[in-house]
């Protein structure tokens, strides 16, 4: 209740009979608020005594033709929680697969370093940079594959998996220097 008159919500509470003692006392003592409560009570009475409205036939038919729910309504949380779990799983899978936690076959295809036996940390073997050669990277990878290496182009660079750096250097010896960096992972 404000200093002068009841708010609209307080007037409706008085009309519904759920207002506190102070609001009821003010409405009884204040002619303006009392008249507003009386108007609200009359409107409530008119609405309660009115006959229900009939829907137009086309609307009633359309509503009747809607499918009925077979079960209870699902709460948004029952949909959102599994969706959040699925998104988190997809992110975790993407991190594992792009950082080398995939299957051995996947690691061979992507050039990612394998995980240690415990799965928690990477093996210490770092890739050895052979050199940078003229590209594009996909063409350099094709040359190395023809020579029997597992080579994967990664943007402007190239990774040779389970290769010998000296052997890769021999295959690329005749290729001119360029911007395609060639790394070898043992």
Average pLDDT over residues 108-118: 43
Distance separating alpha carbons of residues 151 and 38, to the nearest angstrom: 86
pLDDT surpasses 50 at 116: no
- Please indicate, yes or no, if residue 181 is contained in any of the structural domains: yes
The pLDDT value recorded for residue 27 is: 94
Q: What is the pTM of this model?
A: 0.34
Give yes or no for a cis peptide into 24 (omega within 30° of 0). Answer: no
Average pLDDT over residues 13-32: 92
The pair of three-digit structure tokens given for residue 25, joined into one six-digit string = 């006392």
Q: What is the pLDDT of residue 79?
A: 61
Boundaries of domain holding 38: 8-49
Is residue 57 a part of any domain in this protein? no
Confidence of residue 178 (pLDDT cuts 50, 70, 90): confident
Report yes or no on 92 lying in a domain.
Answer: no
Distance CA(125)–CA(113), nearest Å, equals 8
In terms of domains, do 181 and 110 share one? yes
Domain count, the chain: 2
Are 111 and 177 contained in the same domain?
yes
Judge whether residue 186 has pLDDT over 70: yes
pLDDT over 90 at 24, yes or no: yes
Give yes or no for residue 44 having a pLDDT over 50: yes
Adjacency order of strands within the sheet including 150-154:
128-133, 180-185, 157-161, 150-154
* Burial grade of 58 (CB within 10 A; 0-12, 13-18, 19 or more): exposed
Per-residue pLDDT tens digits for 49-103:
877 777 778 877 777 777 776 666 655 556 666 666 776 766 766 666 655 544 4
152 found inside a domain: yes
Please check whether residues 44 and 114 belong to one and the same domain: no
Structure tokens belonging to residue 63: 């509503």
Q: How far apart are the first and last CA of the chain?
A: 79
* 72 inside domain: no
Strands 157-161 and 180-185, how do they pair?
A: parallel
Identify any residues that bridge with 180 across adjacent strands, giving them in sequence order. 133
CB of 38 closer than 8 Å to CB of 29: no
The fraction of the chain above a pLDDT of 70, given in percent, is: 67
pLDDT tens-place string over residues 118-153: 444 444 556 677 788 887 888 888 888 898 888 888
Higher-scoring residue by pLDDT: 70, 32: 32
């Amino acid at each position: 209740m404000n200093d002068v008159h009841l708010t609209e919500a307080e007037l409706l509470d008085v009309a519904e009979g759920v207002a506190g003692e102070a609001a009821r006392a003010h409405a009884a003592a204040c002619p303006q608020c009392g008249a507003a409560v009386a108007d609200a009570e009359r409107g409530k009475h008119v609405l309660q005594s009115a006959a229900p409205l009939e829907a137009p036939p086309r609307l009633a038919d359309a509503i009747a033709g809607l499918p009925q729910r077979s079960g209870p309504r699902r709460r948004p949380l029952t949909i959102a929680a599994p969706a959040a779990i699925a998104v988190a799983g997809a992110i975790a899978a993407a991190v594992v697969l792009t950082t080398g936690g995939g299957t051995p076959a996947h690691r061979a295809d992507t050039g990612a370093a394998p995980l240690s036996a415990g799965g928690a940390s990477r093996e210490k073997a770092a890739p050895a940079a052979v050199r940078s050669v003229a590209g594009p990277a996909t063409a350099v990878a094709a040359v190395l594959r023809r020579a029997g290496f597992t080579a994967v182009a990664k943007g402007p660079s190239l990774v040779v998996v389970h290769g010998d750096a000296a052997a890769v250097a021999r295959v690329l010896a005749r290729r001119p220097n360029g911007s395609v960096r060639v790394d070898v992972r043992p």
